[in-house]
């Protein structure tokens, strides 16, 4: 999927993450800031990259500010930001690339 | 064939905001009978989409340990409900709570989309149950037709806030404004053979008043109550737990009826009370409730 | 060298400190040693005044010089002004290489961080540190090894001469001109001065700092004039609002209440819950809730607590007032209710930190505990607890009486919610060991209760009790199933601190943290 415009999803509350996507400059440029980076930085990065990959996002600047979100929340926030950047809110591929 | 979970125990049905990851990650530790993941009032209008992604992954990835997963979808007068239904069915929600139900037609409309979604996402047809929240005078008056509207419908729930507005009054704390609706709804539900739940009680500083209300709705015949906070769960369960006296009496009734039926006797006495076959189902329910409450040690 | 909790203690640290590795909770029983003694100056001349004009004069008269060790107490908690006031003056005087030996340091002391950076302060010995001092130590800004000691361990270190205090600064809510200090009265009422008592007895020089000078004699004194060299009156020694707050409203968090109820049910099903039992609990929401629910059961069954111990809060004071507790012995007051109680109730008694927890005296109160209810940042599958170092590797907590009470009590219960955000409280290996698992008997979480397999007796007496028992490994697995398995923190090589066992051995080391790198 193409990142058509900047979009954001999520909050900075505990157990949540705020994900921002912006049009990229040819590849995935991922920045992660996390309150649990020392223990979960690797897993957060893997989850975000896997989710972007499933959504076929190849060119984007992605910023994650994580406040201890579980993987299911990280995925939800990434997906939401990506679909928002495309203004899609209906007929989403539940169980398809969203899984 | 009836869905095996249609009549499961639903004393405590706790609302949770789908948009709050900290809330939805492990509400099962409070042991409610059902959680109601809310896409409607708790979620801000501009976060309706975000709540669905959270819901989908929660339904798919969090093990709610046997707690029923109900999802409250947005009303049929909003642009959100169709996608709400898709995500509920795709995620495998047990039950959908229809907000602002006014007629059997509302249930049919939802049912149609649920069926389409079950087909789209390859879920067994009929696997998704429905419950209807009655939030207006019209809805309350149509309680019976709503209760009889669908094989999927497990029951009806009163939504007191919106209902009292429609009634042109408020929640007064006396319960007087809800008397008619409560009485009417429980009668309709029983006539149709479905369950019935009372409205939320939002003042968390008045736990004693809450307890009185739970006792009252139990006496009225309700199956349980919609809840807004885990602090309320234990109180509901305590009120709905049969006393040892009730359990012993129910056991005697079941045993007597089983025995006397075989002998062809129709009316007899237990502990000096006249008993007939009409007591049988009630006694069975008491024992089931005792089992669910973890206080039954007998062998029935 | 690997110690008895499985931690590798590098030889260089053993050499540098002259310490041994931790060998077990009671390895030093019957240990023989000669106590240290301070070098003191007699006050024979009745005309000599102890009053000094200001901190500067006190420092000059005490002969402040580079390399000294200064001590402080933390009864004023996050409302303390004394540490900052003294260190600022020392900094202004250009004194360097100071070691601070405090009973604890908190966020209130963030302002001394620049003095760590500029070499005014080179050593910190404390129960723990929070806030910016913790970050400064963990990022390698302190020249010497930081030493984290339990409350009992600190008394031991001072009395055995392992640390020698040159000057003790003792903030006193009330004091007379001859140095009799009381913890009650005045503007900065803190209830007790327990932690400072050993400082008064073992420091070469003792300075009382007060904002409420009262007529002589200020008795009965918590700390007597016989130990005090100088008395300095200042405007404010602390912020009363942060020293003691009103009693915390009992928690309404169902998760905490649930753990509290598990704890109470566990306690009452042990053989130790009987007339005259002894008990300590912390000031956390679940601990307080469990004290309240235990109180109800004591009342119903007519069972009295013989001894309540430790840091005291209003709920325990209320049980004392109701006659459900016979005696409270007190080393710290967490709220105004506790302070009122010690002022007014003759069965509420101030004791020294040595009486409380020193492992090298001839028997401390902690040894007589039946129950202690504790919290922990992390607990591992060997029941080792970490209360000092955050899961991100930064020093962020204090040992307090945790290892002391755990070692002393017959039944040590740790309450911890399974997850704090994404951080699992139950893990394979704690970041740093502060309290050894051999002294921890039960871990209560919102997801279940694990009894230490060393306590087969407790496992046996809980058979048939309706509580969600499971193994500690099951708790960890439940946590990891939700969070994923945490990676170990990426520490640097440099060791910045040691966690000292209460007997003075090395329990663990704390390493410098480095910025996280994606590999």
Strands A28-34 and B153-158: unpaired
* Section B157-164 average pLDDT: 96
| Assigned token pair, C56 | 């500067």
Contact B198, B224 (CB under 8 A): yes
Tell me, yes or no, if B49 comes closer than 8 A to chain A by beta carbon: yes
Regarding whether C473 and C453 lie in a shared domain, the answer is yes
Chain B residues whose beta carbon lies within 8 Å of the beta carbon of residue C258: 29-30
Gap between the Cα atoms of B160 and B133, Å rounded: 10
**Does residue A16 lie within any of the structural domains?**
yes
pLDDT at residue C248 greater than cutoff 80: no
Per the DSSP assignment, residues forming a β-bridge with C385 are C379, C435
* Count of CB atoms situated within 10 Å of the CB of C167: 23
Chain B neighbors (3+ CB pairs < 8 Å): A, C
Question: How far lies B261's CA from each of B129, B248, B277, C93, in Å?
Answer: 36, 20, 9, 100
Contact C316, C338 (CB under 8 A): yes
At residue B258 the predicted structure's pLDDT band, cuts being 50, 70 and 90, is: confident
**Does residue A90 lie within any of the structural domains?**
no
Contact C409, C369 (CB under 8 A): yes
Whether A13 sits inside 8 A of B20 (CB atoms) is yes
Gap between the Cα atoms of B295 and B289, Å rounded: 9
pLDDT at residue C41 greater than cutoff 80: yes
At residue A30 the predicted structure's pLDDT band, cuts being 50, 70 and 90, is: very high
Facing A14 at nearest CB: one of B22, B54, B56: B22
Range(s) of chain B covered by CATH 3.20.20.60: 12-240
**Does residue C33 lie within any of the structural domains?**
no
Residue pLDDT, tens place only, C382-424: 999 999 999 899 999 999 999 999 999 999 999 999 999 999 9
Regarding whether C407 and C321 lie in a shared domain, the answer is yes
**Alpha helix locations (H) across C31-112?**
55-61, 82-92
Overall number of domains in chain A: 1
Chain C residues whose beta carbon lies within 8 Å of the beta carbon of residue A40: 422, 483-484, 486-487
Which of C253, C255, C393, C421 is the best mutation test for A, with the most CBs of A within 10 A? C421
Contact C5, C432 (CB under 8 A): no
Contact B198, B217 (CB under 8 A): yes
* Domain of A21, in residue numbers: 7-85
Residue pLDDT, tens place only, C273-318: 999 999 999 888 899 999 999 999 999 999 999 999 988 999 999 9
Chain B residues whose beta carbon lies within 8 Å of the beta carbon of residue A76: 50, 53-54, 56-57
Facing C447 at nearest CB: one of B29, B229, B231: B29
Check residues B298 and C384 and name the one with the higher pLDDT: C384
Size of interface A-C (CB pairs under 8 A): 52
Q: Which of C243, C265, C295 is the last residue of a domain?
A: C243
Distance from CA of A29 to the nearest CA of B (A): 23
Edge-to-edge strand order for the sheet containing A28-34? Answer: A7-9, A17-23, A60-66, A28-34
Regarding whether C306 and C199 lie in a shared domain, the answer is no
| Radius of gyration of the CA atoms of chain A, in A | 12
Regarding whether C137 and C204 lie in a shared domain, the answer is yes
Which of A14, A84, A94, A96 is the best mutation test for B, with the most CBs of B within 10 A? A94
Q: Is the peptide bond before C217 cis (omega within 30 degrees of 0)?
A: yes
**Alpha helix locations (H) across C247-309?**
254-268, 285-301
Facing A35 at nearest CB: one of C421, C483, C490: C421
Gap between the Cα atoms of C374 and C351, Å rounded: 21
Gap between the Cα atoms of C334 and C314, Å rounded: 8
**Does residue C34 lie within any of the structural domains?**
no
> Apex CA B240: angle with CA B223 and CA B4, to 5°?
45
Strands C371-375 and C411-415: parallel
Return mean pLDDT, chain A: 97
Whether A89 sits inside 8 A of B25 (CB atoms) is no
Given this model, what pLDDT does residue C435 score? 98
**Does residue C110 lie within any of the structural domains?**
yes
Facing C446 at nearest CB: one of B29, B233, B294: B29
Regarding whether C258 and C168 lie in a shared domain, the answer is no
Contact C168, C206 (CB under 8 A): yes
Regarding whether C156 and C204 lie in a shared domain, the answer is yes
Given this model, what pLDDT does residue C438 score? 98
**Does residue A94 lie within any of the structural domains?**
no
Q: Which of C216, C243, C270 is the last residue of a domain?
A: C243
Regarding whether C184 and C222 lie in a shared domain, the answer is yes
* CA B129, chain centre distance (Å): 11
Chain C residues whose beta carbon lies within 8 Å of the beta carbon of residue B233: 254
Burial of A31 (0-12, 13-18, 19+ CB in 10 A): exposed
| Assigned token pair, C65 | 């010089």
| Assigned token pair, C235 | 């405007």
Find, among C231, C119, C243, C121, the residue nearest to C191 by Cα: C243
Chain C residues whose beta carbon lies within 8 Å of the beta carbon of residue A37: 392, 516
Regarding whether C165 and C260 lie in a shared domain, the answer is no
Given this model, what pLDDT does residue C215 score? 98
Find, among C220, C81, C148, C212, the residue nearest to C498 by Cα: C148
Regarding whether C307 and C225 lie in a shared domain, the answer is no
Per the DSSP assignment, residues forming a β-bridge with C450 are C443, C470
pLDDT at residue B1 greater than cutoff 90: no
Given this model, what pLDDT does residue B200 score? 97
What DSSP character marks residue A50? H
Tell me, yes or no, if C489 comes closer than 8 A to chain A by beta carbon: yes
* Domain of C479, in residue numbers: 254-488
Residue pLDDT, tens place only, B93-115: 999 999 999 999 999 999 999 99
Residue C173 C-beta-side C-alpha neighbours within 13 Å: 24
Residue pLDDT, tens place only, B6-22: 989 999 999 999 999 99
Nearest CA in chain A to C483: A70
Regarding whether C232 and C292 lie in a shared domain, the answer is no
Given this model, what pLDDT does residue C284 score? 85
Chain A residues whose beta carbon lies within 8 Å of the beta carbon of residue B82: 90
Given this model, what pLDDT does residue B173 score? 86
Burial of A59 (0-12, 13-18, 19+ CB in 10 A): middle
Gap between the Cα atoms of C483 and C450, Å rounded: 20
**Does residue C149 lie within any of the structural domains?**
yes
DSSP C333-379: E-BHHHHHHHHH-TTEEE--HHHHH-TTSS--GGGG-SEEEEE-SEE
Facing C254 at nearest CB: one of B25, B230, B294: B230
Residue pLDDT, tens place only, C74-132: 999 999 999 999 999 999 999 999 999 999 999 999 999 999 999 999 999 999 999 99
Residue C336 zone, left/alpha/beta (φ > 0; ψ -120 to 50; rest) = alpha
Strands C371-375 and C277-281: parallel
Whether B82 sits inside 8 A of A10 (CB atoms) is no
Tell me, yes or no, if B97 comes closer than 8 A to chain A by beta carbon: no
Q: What percent of chain C has pLDDT over 70?
A: 100
Given this model, what pLDDT does residue B275 score? 83
Chain A residues whose beta carbon lies within 8 Å of the beta carbon of residue C482: 70
Find, among C487, C488, C468, the residue nearest to C478 by Cα: C468
Whether C392 sits inside 8 A of A39 (CB atoms) is yes
Tell me, yes or no, if B231 comes closer than 8 A to chain C by beta carbon: yes
Whether A39 sits inside 8 A of C486 (CB atoms) is yes
Given this model, what pLDDT does residue B294 score? 82
Overall number of domains in chain C: 2
Residue pLDDT, tens place only, B263-296: 877 788 888 888 888 888 889 889 988 988 888 8
Distance from CA of A15 to the nearest CA of C (A): 5
Nearest CA in chain A to B92: A95
Given this model, what pLDDT does residue B245 score? 92
Whether A16 sits inside 8 A of B21 (CB atoms) is yes
Comparing B249-253, C19-23, C246-250, the range with the smallest average pLDDT is C246-250
Regarding whether C473 and C411 lie in a shared domain, the answer is yes
| Radius of gyration of the CA atoms of chain B, in A | 20
Whether B231 sits inside 8 A of C254 (CB atoms) is yes
Handedness of CA C478, C479, C482, C483 (dihedral sign): negative
Nearest CA in chain A to C515: A38
Question: How far lies C222's CA from each of A62, B179, C197, in Å?
Answer: 60, 65, 8
Residue B37 C-beta-side C-alpha neighbours within 13 Å: 38
DSSP chain B: ---TTTT---SEEEEEETT-HHHHS-GGGG--SEEEEESSTTS-GGGHHHHHHHHHHHHHH---TT-EEEEEEPPTTSSSHHHHHHHHHHHT-SEEEEEEE-SHHHHHHHHHHHHHHHHHTTPPTT-SEEEEEE-SHHHHHTHHHHHTS-TTEEEEEE-HHHHHHHTT----SSSGGGHHHHHHHHHHHHHHT-EEEEPP---TT-HHHHHHHHHHHHHHT--EEEESSTHHHHHHHHHHSPPHHHHHHHHHHHHHHHHHHHHT---EEETTEEE-GGGHHHHHHHHHHHHHTT---S--
Facing A39 at nearest CB: one of C489, C513, C518: C489
Contact C376, C350 (CB under 8 A): no
Contact B155, B128 (CB under 8 A): no
Whether A38 sits inside 8 A of C487 (CB atoms) is yes
Chain B residues whose beta carbon lies within 8 Å of the beta carbon of residue A71: 61
**Does residue A20 lie within any of the structural domains?**
yes
At residue B2 the predicted structure's pLDDT band, cuts being 50, 70 and 90, is: confident
E strand or H helix at C210: strand C205-210
Question: What CATH number does the domain containing A56 carry?
Answer: 3.30.230.10
Contact C101, C129 (CB under 8 A): no
At residue B215 the predicted structure's pLDDT band, cuts being 50, 70 and 90, is: very high
Regarding whether C421 and C277 lie in a shared domain, the answer is yes
Distance from CA of C255 to the nearest CA of B (A): 8
CATH class of B12-240: alpha beta
Question: What CATH number does the domain containing C132 carry?
Answer: 3.40.1080.10
């Amino acid at each position: 999927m193409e990142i058509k415009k900047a979009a954001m999803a999520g909050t900075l509350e505990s157990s949540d993450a705020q994900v921002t996507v912006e049009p990229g400059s040819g590849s995935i440029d991922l920045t992660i800031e996390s309150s649990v980076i020392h223990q979960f930085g690797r897993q957060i990065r893997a989850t975000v990259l896997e989710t972007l990959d499933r959504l076929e996002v190849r060119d984007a600047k992605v910023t994650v500010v994580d406040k201890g979100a579980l993987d299911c929340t990280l995925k939800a926030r990434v997906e939401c930001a990506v679909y928002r950047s495309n203004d899609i809110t209906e007929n989403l591929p539940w169980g398809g690339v969203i899984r | 064939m009836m869905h095996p979970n249609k009549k499961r125990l639903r004393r405590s049905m706790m609302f949770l905001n789908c948009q709050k990851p900290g809330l939805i990650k492990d509400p099962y530790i409070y042991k409610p009978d059902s959680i109601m993941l809310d896409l409607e009032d708790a979620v801000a209008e501009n976060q309706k989409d975000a709540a669905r992604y959270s819901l989908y992954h929660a339904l798919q990835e969090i093990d709610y340990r046997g707690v029923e997963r109900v999802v409250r979808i947005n009303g049929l007068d909003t642009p959100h409900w169709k996608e709400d239904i898709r995500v509920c069915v795709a995620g495998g929600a047990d039950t959908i709570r229809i907000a602002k139900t006014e007629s059997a037609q509302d249930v049919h409309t939802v049912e149609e989309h649920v069926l389409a979604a079950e087909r789209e996402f390859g879920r067994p047809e009929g696997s998704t149950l429905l419950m209807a929240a009655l939030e207006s005078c019209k809805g309350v008056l149509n309680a019976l037709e709503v209760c009889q509207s669908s094989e999927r419908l497990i029951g009806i729930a009163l939504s007191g806030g919106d209902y009292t507005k429609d009634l042109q009054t408020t929640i007064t704390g006396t319960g007087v404004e809800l008397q008619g609706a409560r009485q009417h709804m429980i009668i309709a539900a029983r006539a149709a053979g479905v369950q019935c739940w009372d409205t939320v009680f939002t003042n968390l500083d008045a736990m004693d008043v809450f307890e009185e209300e739970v006792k009252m709705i139990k006496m009225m015949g309700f199956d349980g109550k919609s809840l807004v906070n885990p602090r309320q769960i234990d109180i509901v369960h305590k009120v709905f737990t049969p006393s040892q006296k009730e359990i012993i009496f129910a056991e005697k009734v079941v045993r007597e009826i089983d025995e006397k039926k075989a002998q062809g006797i129709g009316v007899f006495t237990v502990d000096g009370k006249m008993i007939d076959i009409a007591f049988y189902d009630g006694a069975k329910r008491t024992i089931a409730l005792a089992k669910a409450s973890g206080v039954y040690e007998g062998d029935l | 060298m690997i110690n008895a909790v499985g931690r590798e203690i590098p030889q260089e640290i053993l050499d540098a400190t002259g310490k041994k590795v931790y060998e077990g909770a009671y390895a030093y029983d019957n240990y023989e040693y000669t106590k240290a003694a301070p070098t003191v100056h007699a006050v024979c001349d009745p005309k000599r005044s102890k009053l000094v004009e200001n901190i500067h004069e006190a420092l000059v008269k005490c002969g402040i010089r580079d390399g000294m060790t200064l001590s402080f107490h933390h009864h004023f908690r996050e409302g303390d002004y004394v540490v900052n006031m003294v260190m600022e003056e020392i900094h202004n005087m250009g004194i360097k290489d100071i070691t601070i030996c405090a009973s604890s340091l908190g966020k209130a002391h963030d302002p001394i961080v620049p003095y760590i950076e500029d070499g005014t302060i080179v050593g910190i010995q404390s129960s723990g540190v929070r806030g910016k001092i913790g970050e400064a130590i963990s990022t390698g800004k302190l020249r010497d090894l930081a030493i984290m000691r339990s409350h009992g361990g600190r008394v031991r270190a001072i009395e055995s001469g392992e640390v020698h205090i040159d000057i003790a600064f003792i903030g006193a809510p009330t004091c007379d001109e001859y140095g009799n200090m009381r913890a009650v009265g005045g503007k900065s009422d803190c209830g007790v001065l327990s932690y400072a008592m050993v400082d008064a007895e073992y420091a070469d020089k003792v300075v009382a700092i007060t904002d409420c000078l009262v007529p002589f004699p200020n008795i009965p004194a918590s700390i007597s004039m016989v130990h005090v060299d100088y008395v300095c009156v200042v405007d404010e020694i602390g912020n009363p609002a942060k020293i003691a707050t009103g009693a915390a409203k009992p928690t309404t968090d169902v998760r905490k209440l649930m753990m509290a109820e598990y704890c109470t049910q566990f306690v009452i099903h042990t053989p130790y819950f009987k007339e005259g039992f002894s008990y300590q609990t912390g000031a956390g929401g679940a601990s307080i809730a469990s004290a309240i629910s235990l109180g109800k059961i004591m009342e119903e069954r007519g069972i009295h607590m013989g001894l309540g111990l430790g840091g005291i809060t209003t709920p325990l004071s209320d049980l004392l007032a109701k006659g459900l507790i016979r005696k409270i012995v007190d080393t710290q007051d967490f709220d105004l209710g506790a302070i009122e109680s010690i002022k007014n109730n003759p069965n509420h008694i101030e004791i020294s930190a040595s009486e409380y927890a020193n492992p090298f005296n001839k028997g401390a109160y902690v040894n007589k505990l039946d129950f202690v209810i504790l919290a922990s940042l992390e607990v591992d599958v060997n029941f080792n607890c970490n209360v000092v170092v955050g899961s991100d590797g930064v020093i962020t907590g204090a040992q307090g009486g945790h290892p002391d009470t755990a070692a002393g009590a017959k039944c040590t219960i740790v309450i911890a919610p399974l997850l704090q955000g994404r951080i699992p409280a139950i893990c394979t290996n704690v970041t740093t060991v502060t309290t050894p698992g051999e002294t921890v008997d039960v871990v209560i979480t919102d997801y279940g209760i694990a009894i230490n397999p060393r306590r087969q007796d407790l496992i046996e007496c809980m058979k048939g009790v309706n509580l969600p028992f499971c193994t500690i490994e099951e708790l960890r697995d439940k946590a990891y199933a939700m969070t994923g398995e945490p990676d170990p923190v990426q520490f640097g090589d440099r060791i910045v601190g040691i966690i000292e066992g209460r007997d003075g051995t090395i329990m663990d080391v704390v390493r410098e943290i480095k910025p996280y790198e994606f590999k």
